Amino acid sequence: MSRPKRERRFAICIKTDDPDLLTPRKIYEVLPDASAEKSDFVRVVDNEGEDYLYPASCFIFVNLPVEVKKVLEHVL
């Protein structure tokens, strides 16, 4: 039995203490991490290509149209 495909979530960075790792106004894919979310953090793949925890307050979460999500699947 196959797993249902997980819904991809996205967030826009609104602030950062390290512009080498996160870029304000850039869209990041949010990776699933229930433990991090309980502590008010989110896991994203940063500008260095590493998935890392960042404060949720650095992002706003967005619901994107399906067409946009399909394009982002190929660029993020």
Average pLDDT, integer, range 21-27: 96
Asked if pLDDT for residue 2 goes beyond 70, the answer is no
All domains in the chain, ordered by first residue: 9-75 (2.30.30)
Residue 8's CB is within 10 A of a number of other CB atoms, namely: 15
- The amino acid that residue 19 corresponds to is P
Mean pLDDT of all residues in the chain? 90
Phi-psi region at 63: left, alpha or beta (left = phi > 0; alpha = psi -120 to 50):
beta
Beta-carbon contacts of residue 76 (< 8 Å; ≥ 6 apart): 27, 28, 29, 45
Q: Which DSSP category does 68 fall into? A: H
Beta carbons of 13 and 26 less than 8 angstroms apart = yes
pLDDT of residue 3: 53
The pLDDT confidence band at residue 5, using thresholds 50, 70 and 90, is low
